[in-house]
Structure 1
């Protein structure tokens, strides 16, 4: 069954939702075939695909390019695309134009933006324009400088109340779902109970309505220390390194390509004799 923003909302309280980041056609196709509910074309691509130190250098053109590739590989998963830094912060009209490009050119089926009540005018305008919106609270990577780094959010009573208020505001503004990143598990559970839209956790405990991970993290492609909330579901990075090393050894030793990898001529001697 095709996953849509409607089925996403209907899943709350019935079944856990699965979401993974995706940035290319081939990976998206594999995830889609295994029944992942949603593919997030995250601005995390700036770090895991483009080698930037953070998400702030990612452009709208980057997001459109990668989202279109993911959309071509997804037949049943819901495709959600991040709005990159400064694509929605300036004004409501600019937000609409940029989100419209992600939908029209990137073939996204929903957009995600970071921030709470302050951005509700943008959320309302997008929803009025029939562009579904996923919110994002807690650790919001585009605000890394303002937050003083990648830190758990909502640890004090005041900060926890602010997150709950922002979640309610985004729900009221029309968001169909909400990512909670690096939020204490008990607080994420409270927020999930308080709002009627599904919450998708990443470092926010088991009581969210679904989970999301960066696929390079969960498959061990990154050599750097993974965040505490990441579980390695496969040693794909290790397997890839072993395969690359084996390829290099066989090419250098002359054992690849072998006879079974080569094409032959029907009358080899006769053809070669005619060459000059």
Structure 2
């Protein structure tokens, strides 16, 4: 029986009762794999959602497109963008812009997911790529950010690289659906990037990431095979081994004779 795509009401009803799964996927193949694997929620590039094939590949995935706020612009730009995403089949939109921008969208009944803790686009304010909320003061700032998002009308928030004790305590004290990226199991969903799970991330591996397959090695093997095949083609052309008789078409002798006579050839 096909899975039913969850609604906002469904997710609110299960808050605090179970952990859902969430992935950041970048391609149609990854989305289709997430669908078949039973993943619950995906974060996706807006252009993937706009692909006419997306919902055929991922009919039951709760899908959340997102861009960094500086890619979209003002609050009005966000509202226009969000309506476009909603029309294309988004279930919620990600927004790391201001609380006022979140409120602007929420006022139009657009389900918005905010971001607290380590926010990559704002990392300079919290000291770079490192945990946020390890002191009572900074933990309180994370809590206050959650309450601000709540007041703005957000539906949920990604909570990234926050101590597990802090994340769990906050989750118990907010109506927001919290998506844990490196913030432990006290939230409502566990969130990883597909590139980390598949082992294609060749840069820094976050502490919370877990590699389940080594696609990088397979890609390297395929690239080596690609180079080898191209090299063999070059060698065949240089040695006249390609094309062979089976790769070409020949003209019937009588037609060739008539053709050559017309062009004054032998």
Q: TM-score range by the shorter chain?
A: 0.7 to 0.9
1:26 alignment partner in structure 2: 29
Give the conservation status (yes or no) of the 8 Å contact 2:69–2:96. Answer: no
Provide the rounded CA distance (Å) in 1 between the counterparts of 2:12 and 2:71: 26
Deviations 1:201-239 (A, max 9, x none): 111122221111111112110222301111111112222
Provide the rounded CA distance (Å) in 2 between the counterparts of 1:71 and 1:127: 25
Provide the rounded CA distance (Å) in 1 between the counterparts of 2:130 and 2:73: 22
Q: 2:114 aligns with which of 135, 142, 162?
A: 135
2:94 alignment partner in structure 1: 112
Query: SS state of the match for residue 194, structure 1?
Result: coil
Q: 1:163 aligns with which of 142, 152, 157?
A: 142
Query: SS state of the match for residue 69, structure 2?
Result: coil
Provide the rounded CA distance (Å) in 2 between the counterparts of 1:215 and 1:160: 28
Provide the rounded CA distance (Å) in 2 between the counterparts of 1:163 and 1:145: 16
From the superposition, tell whether residues 160 and 88 of structure 1 become closer, same or farther in structure 2 (CA, over 3 Å).
farther
Provide the rounded CA distance (Å) in 2 between the counterparts of 1:20 and 1:251: 36
Give, in angstroms, the shift of residue 87 of structure 1.
Answer: 5.2
**Number of residue equivalences:** 237
User: Does 156-165 or 168-177 show the bigger shift?
Assistant: 168-177
Q: 1:153 aligns with which of 129, 132, 135?
A: 132
Structure 1's unaligned 5+ residue stretches are 42-62, 255-267
Question: How well do the aligned residues superpose, as a CA RMSD in angstroms?
Answer: 2.6
Query: SS state of the match for residue 176, structure 2?
Result: coil
Counterpart check, 1:8 vs 2:5: no
User: Does 19-28 or 65-74 show the bigger shift?
Assistant: 65-74
Deviations 1:109-147 (A, max 9, x none): 2111126xxx33322221221211011100111113333
Counterpart check, 1:272 vs 2:250: yes
Provide the rounded CA distance (Å) in 2 between the counterparts of 1:225 and 1:198: 28
Structure 2's unaligned 5+ residue stretches are 234-245, 257-266
Counterpart check, 1:66 vs 2:48: yes
Provide the rounded CA distance (Å) in 2 between the counterparts of 1:218 and 1:134: 23
User: Does 146-155 or 208-217 show the bigger shift?
Assistant: 146-155
1:95 alignment partner in structure 2: 78
Give the conservation status (yes or no) of the 8 Å contact 1:183–1:203. Answer: yes
- After the TM superposition, list the runs of 4 or more consecutive aligned residues in structure 1 that deviate by more than 6 angstroms: none
Provide the rounded CA distance (Å) in 2 between the counterparts of 1:201 and 1:177: 11
Give, in angstroms, the shift of residue 250 of structure 1.
Answer: 4.7
Deviations 1:134-189 (A, max 9, x none): 11100111113333321211122111111112212222332222210011111111
Query: SS state of the match for residue 70, structure 2?
Result: coil
Alignment of 1:221-260 (within 5 A): 221-250=200-229, 252-253=231-232
Provide the rounded CA distance (Å) in 1 between the counterparts of 2:7 and 2:218: 34
Give the conservation status (yes or no) of the 8 Å contact 1:3–1:38. Answer: no
Query: SS state of the match for residue 86, structure 1?
Result: helix
